[in-house]
A and B are shown apart, each in its own frame.
Chain A
Amino acid sequence: MEALKIEPYLQTPEIDFDPSTGKMLLSGKSYPADAIEFYQPIIEWSKKYVKKATIETVLTCEIEYLNSASQKQLVELIMAFKPLYDKAKKFRVVWKFEEGDDDILSVGELVEHELQIPFSYEEVTF
């Protein structure tokens, strides 16, 4: 399976998903008008990856800004990886947020609570 790489653009984040290491990175701003158009191919790629994955998978979300449409899509993306955690506890999320940005932190906490997947939190500077 090939890696999934998308360069960041004005309103969309960088995507760097590496199936050989299990390290998945989503980084930057996300506020496209059509979030489904951006996220659906990433979600589809992730579903295919989950069927074959055997190593521990870590999804790092380094989020500078997230609009409501992206929040919904990000939940779907994390849900795509959830079978890895449900079957063998081989999935976790690292949720990085800008220092002082309690709103993005609380989105992470809400998603963690709702999906019952372990999150670890890190403050970063953008």
Chain B
Amino acid sequence: MQLIEKRKQLLNLPFNKDQIEYWGPISNEFSDAFLGMGRLFLQQFLEKAHVRLVKGVFSSFVEMVQNIAEYNQKEFEDNIPQSFVHLMLGDNAIIITTINKIKEKDVPHLTQLLTNLFAMSKEELKKAHREALLDGKSLGLIMIKKLIDSELDWEINKDEKGNNWFSLELKINYGSTKN
């Protein structure tokens, strides 16, 4: 461990324990490999946790990464932009953060979609999930929002070059699901 820390200091890299952090292009092909790694990482740390917690964390991680990969493939094709994924195991919560570039044309729709989703009651979310099973629209986001013992936040920011960045942060509390 000390050797890794020394090397990271030498190369001026951040050193974060119990975390996965990635900043780079995310395509479908990449997400398949990355999710496999994330699954092993979570298995190691959540070995004794309740099945609902483990699956909740992993399913959210899958949806968040695959959402980015799918959007990148569809909208950017061969010029996949840099995206960010961060999975952190804290003392009382697991935090998954993703940031990805979105096109200007998609900002109003995404803003409306998330605003509506965040205003839904538990029953309305269940109904939305039923409908999404048939039409497939926004199913991944609905699944994440439905997750119990969790908090979801989002924002869209514009950088100095005029690029729009969509951030999604999910905090899953150990709460009642922890053994």
A83 to B38, CA, bound (A): 40
Which A residues are in CB contact (< 8 Å) with B31? 33
User: Are the CB atoms of A31 and B35 closer together than 8 Å?
Assistant: yes
A5 to B13, CA, bound (A): 48
User: Are the CB atoms of B55 and A103 closer together than 8 Å?
Assistant: yes
Which B residues are in CB contact (< 8 Å) with A103? 52, 55-56, 59
A34 to B62, CA, bound (A): 13
Q: Is the interface of B mostly helix, strand, loop or mixed?
A: helix
Q: What range describes how many residues of A lie at the interface?
A: 20 to 34
A103 to B55, CA, bound (A): 9
Q: Which residue on chain B has the smallest CB distance to residue A72?
A: B136
User: Are the CB atoms of B36 and A100 closer together than 8 Å?
Assistant: no
A75-126, CB < 8 A from B: 75, 98-104, 107, 110-111, 113-114
Which B residues are in CB contact (< 8 Å) with A21? none
- Give the interface of A toward B (CB within 8 A): 10-11, 31-34, 65, 67-69, 71-72, 75, 98-104, 107, 110-111, 113-114
